[in-house]
Copies of this chain bind each other. A is one copy, B any other.
Amino acid sequence: DFLNALEEVHPAFGVSEEELEQVMQNGIYDFDTAVDEFLRRGKLLVEQVRSSERTPLVSVLLYGSPGSGKTALAAFIAKESKFPFIKLISPDNMVGFMESQKVQAITKVFTDSYKSPLSVVVVDNIERLIGVDGLDYTPVNDRFSNSVLQTLLVLFARRPPKGRRLLIIATSSLLSTLKKLGLGEVFDSEQLVPSITTIGAFNHILRKVKLFANNSQLEDALQRLAGLGFRTGDTDDLDFATDEAFPTPEIGVKKLLSVIEMARQEPENVTKRLVDGVEAVARKRVRDKNALRYADA
């Protein structure tokens, strides 16, 4: 099955396997049916590139709040494709680059990809690549690299040469800002990265990471989390969270793992620290989401 397939990819031309592994070193927890559905859709896009003659270029944007797991999921889908060319474009490798060096580095990855019959290019953290300076939605906020932006706008739409096929997986936490920058029309598909919104998801993860010594402690924690507004049912629709009129709390999986480790430091206080930490993050999320929805309207 696709989800548990984290194994035997043969080393191949143009694949930096170690880098892919590193960004998902805590694994991928299957904490929700939304995660299954998300990965199934990712796989379909891979298959489309592999098989459809009419669409040699397919691009998808994975978006979600900071720490929701975007980078890990992009890497997972890329690796599972087993395409001969898989590359990750990340701001982590461009610290201190000048604009022109960024443009050159990005362009090179795409130009290289055009030499392989089947390629995946992951463009991680677009807002950081472009250097957008925050969550400010004002029209005058224009401190970013327009040359990097224009390069991406063209590369995301440029067809590979005859006989070559390319899947572009981009990630971002700033969907509204991207749209304002003209990146709202360029992707063939946009997928919301599932975050943790249900008690079931907490249950799944808390068991995996073994935070609690016994079941009754765990039950107590889950009850307190339910008190924060997390739903006790299951998610049966991927877009559930965004369709609701009333925003429910949510927390990204990476953020949750961070809160868990911080709580682990105070064994005598672990439940309080966990719940307080989740609450602090989740409250911000609700606020941001409202802003997001407003900005997308």
Is A214 close to B, CB under 8 A?
no
Q: Nearest-CB distance from A18 to chain B (Å)?
A: 9
Q: A131-B150, A184-B135 are in contact. Are A261 and B22 (CB under 8 A)?
A: no
Taking a contact as CB atoms under 8 Å apart, the answer to whether B136 and A107 are in contact is no
What mask results when residues 250 to 277 of chain A are scored 1 for a CB within 8 Å of chain B, else 0? 0000000110111011100000000000
Count A-side interface residues using an 8 Å CB cutoff: 69
What mask results when residues 138 to 165 of chain A are scored 1 for a CB within 8 Å of chain B, else 0? 1111111011011101110011001000
Is A207 close to B, CB under 8 A?
no
Q: A150-B128, A266-B44 are in contact. Are A258 and B55 (CB under 8 A)?
A: yes
Q: A141-B139, A150-B131 are in contact. Are A48 and B257 (CB under 8 A)?
A: no
Q: Report chain B residues within 8 Å CB of A209.
A: 54
Q: Report chain B residues within 8 Å CB of A51.
A: 265
User: Once bound together, how far apart are the Cα atoms of A88 and B131, in whole Å?
Assistant: 25
Taking a contact as CB atoms under 8 Å apart, the answer to whether B107 and A95 are in contact is yes
Q: Report chain B residues within 8 Å CB of A95.
A: 103, 107, 151, 154-155, 158
Is A181 close to B, CB under 8 A?
yes
Given contacts A66-B185, A128-B153, 11 further A-B contacts (CB under 8 A): A22-B162, A45-B265, A48-B261, A58-B262, A92-B154, A98-B100, A133-B146, A134-B181, A134-B183, A138-B140, A184-B284
